[in-house]
Structure 1
Amino acid sequence: MTSCWRCGITQKIQGASDQDGDSLFYSLVPAQGSSGDTLIYNPGYDYLTPFHVLDSPLTIESQIGLLSFTPIAPAITSVLSIQINEYNANGILIGSVKNDMQVFINDSCVADTLNFLGDTTTPTGSHPAITVFCDTNKLLIHFDNPIQCETISLDGSDFILTVPIGGTLLIDSIGTPTCTGGLIDSIVLYLSETVRFNGSYFLYDTIGNDGTPILSICGLVLNDTLEIILNNCVKATVDLMNVTVVNNSDISLIWGKYTENFEDSYFIKYEVLRSTDPLGPYTVIDYVSTFEDTFYLDQNVSVSNQEYNYTIRMDLDPSLFLVPESDSIQSILLQSSPAPTNDTNEVDLFWTPYWGWTSPNYQIMKKTANGPWKRIHETSETNYRYMKPLLANNYELKIMTSDNTFGLYSESNWISFEIPIRQIPNVITPNGDDINDFFFVNERLLYEQVHLIVYNRWGMKVFEDLKYNNKWDGDNFVAKPLPDGTYYYVLKLTEGENKAGFVTIIR
């Protein structure tokens, strides 16, 4: 009987000589006890599966007798039986022999794992994990099972260390191991840079420059991952909070910053990046050199023709390997279809969505001439059908959305249009025939709060109405008819440009 104390063995059995040219064939057969009776395996096992392996059932190379396997849990003691048959050149069986082996699968060889010395941290997911401190450039690694010294690459190429911000951190070398009997249970990794970022690093083992993987005492490849959690490191983030059109001309940006364990000397500048496409590419258009300044006004824009996408990047000391950059935000571009000309009574407004905050509501704002902005509608959609007013005036429309949490708002460019007084008569004939009897400024459209003043040819004021309503029929202040002739009128408008001209009275 033969005992196997290591997992992952490769066993070659050769029980007969073939110097005379005879052929040997190897096969797995049921094992027999000392009395010649066939052994009975426990439930779930048989002579082809005497223990659990990665590739079940076991197979043996029939020509050379090579048997390779990698056992898995649980630990077990079992029997493996191999029969060798010898055939002559005519294919006639001329002899056979059978070898039985007792195989012991050791629990400690079932799963090798990487771990830090003294680690008692509960594994995160399927990976062992450990919390370490920042600003160290060496890691002490402990192996649950000793590893074979000859499989270690001293240049550190047996390991890959990933960084929380992406990429990898180069391992310069491995400290010279002190081996006992060709085995070692811990090594020191020397890193090219200190670890300095909050978050999780991941250490993977791989095949080094020597062409061999790290093997344990059991002959198994490690094939494992170790999570290394760092706290109290330098942390810096930048958050673009708002992008808004200002006075139908410029675009302003406001951002916030957050840092931990940060020194002012780390900061170099903020970079302002812009693109006309949300997917980029983004180009640096300017920078802000003061750490506390978190505002920028972009004056090199055409807000009525193009929406703009922005992001803010923090330029820090290169030794930090830290390049914080915000998410992008797009300005609101308001457009209309058709263009709001004098001949259209409806205008379809549509605008680009704003993603400066979640689920924004949009207010459609209107103002007349130099009057205040007033909200006329609110919607969560990015379109609205606007019914033009009947009153003649100069109008402007814009879109605005606000965030109550931080008291911010973002607005679009403006769309301007005029509802003109379509006709101002130059003759009235107040003779009672209902034709041109009144100084009717407009058939449908009239400025709000029109102030009408009428002067005679010598510049004397002969009529005035502070709130004119199309009822002047050529009378003076005391409702007496004015003489026929030409008079000068002034229409003073509360908002907008005054109108003036001549009107002739003919009776």
Structure 2
Amino acid sequence: MLRTTSQLTIYLAILFSFIPILVFSHHIAGADLSMQAVTTTNKNFRITLNIYIEDKNSPIAGANLEEIVVIFRKRDNAKMERFFLRRNQPPAFLIFQNPACADLNKLKIYHSIFYLDVFLDPNTYNDPDGYYIMFDRCCRSQELTNIDDPLNTSLAVMLEFPSVKDVKNSSPIFSELNGEFICKGEPFSANFIATDADGDRLTYSLVDPYKGFASFNTSPYYDETPRANRPGVNWLSGYDKNNSIPGTPPLTINSQTGEINVTATKTGLFVFAILCEEYRNGKRIGATRRDYILKVVDCSSSSLPKPVLNYNNAEIKNLTICTGSMANIETVDNVDWVFQWKKDNINIPNANTNQFTLTDGGKYTVVKSSKTSCVKEAISDPLMVTVTTNNIGVKIKPDNASACDGENNTLALVNSDQVVAWYENNVFLKEDKSITVNKSGQYEARIIGTILCPGISTSDKIDLTLFSKPTISTPQNSYLLCPGDVINLTTNNTASYTYQWYKDNIIIASANSNVYSTNETGNFTVKVKNQSCEIESQIFKVGTQSNCTNSADMLYIPNIFTPNNDGKNDTWEIKNIEKYPDCEVFIFNRWGENMFYSKGYLEQWNGMINGRRAPVDTYVFIIKMDAYNKPDIKGSFILVH
């Protein structure tokens, strides 16, 4: 926003003429910044500042119309630009769900939103280290319990963003705040989650609030000086960022969800700060801070009865509605009660009666408070609402089609992750998204609660039959072969079973009975199936007999060779083959193609095929011994370079 020097002087004079009123009558309770990409004419970003002001006695009309933010370059903290953000709508008071307690403890906070659409020139904002926006404003409440000299400690928040030229990015945006206070000794939680338009991963942590440099004793009442160091507040003894609100536990934040939790052990007004960092492809590209206060008060030990949520005069905890439909939920009313409905732990604006009409999915609760006395508020059990479309009902699918009796089989819903009620043979088991079973039976999933979709299936049944495990013989420790021998590997024979044999984890074609005959060494297994139930045997280890008769005439056939010209096992050498000059040696690849043939075996195979190296693979051989009235010798070997 461009201004002449005279215009700026007049503006500042007017602005500062009423700031002292703001400083002494109002105190800054919190603030945060965001920056969103926009496509308006000649603008590319909208900078937004949220300010939360404690308001005890002064009229809200005294709130400022403009606030100032300054952009600095990270690399050298050089000042880039100053912007005047405009408040374009009246401030709004935060909604306290327990107004009687809020009034008793003089809790009154209003929220002002300031923003400006700006143009950040990519040719100017192109530093790879990025930039940051500062808002530094006097003054904090002198009632703060956990920091030193709060009235002279201004509030400062920062937003970090990457090079505009290199990265298209919108910063995280913190969710709107509810009016909240903490009852001493009672568990407290609140949602400080942020959203990111680019889908970047967000993480949350508690950090030291900044100690700003603005002061009501000087003019102007904001700070825009480039600074290499941004110090944190001066904590009083016993306090720090991890103990900003003392408790058991003290104030903590969930690093993934942004939810804060505390069971406070001390009353007072406490300041804390949350850092939300954004990551893209594992790299940190930006961050924004929220600085805020929460008050811990002594609440009455008495409490109101817990509200019960009803639909059509019946209690309800789960509800499925169709897209575009609505449901009216209510709880018992009383003239002395006030209500605040919440969706996903966030106050719903203007939802302050005992009835609420919902149209969206989520977790709904209602908080009931007293209009006339400061007693503990009561919160309902959550109502889980799922939105679905017509013709999408409940359908069960098992995850393990080959499970045997006694083995786990998980049943879940197709295209749905909703919680349903599970039954076995019409006996209730549990409520969950899935269920794990290990025996046969009829299993049913039923939608919990009421469903408002016409024609949709509300339950599904599956008759699950888990067959008993097949009986498999236990192999002996080892099986030994002499050259020319054939050995039978055997497992139990049952007419209803099917079989498949494997050698070294490779399927053996047409080996589909309970017996497999082989003259090869190796590790053999068999998979046996009883209907849908399949198990695999232990290993049948077949080796070479060391004390075979006529050992001088035995053929020693390697099961692996490495033709890589290193002088070791470069040929497929068959010992004693020279004793059988009229034998015929055939070598085939896995597809049955002949790779090598020799009458006799005077020239050993060197792993070449038509002048090229044969690929790494398993090869099959046949040695025909017809000239010696001996059976053919068959087997396989592995070629490795």
- TM-score between the two structures when normalised by the length of structure 1: 0.26
Say which one has the larger Rg. Answer: 1
Give the TM-score of the pair, scaled to structure 2: 0.22
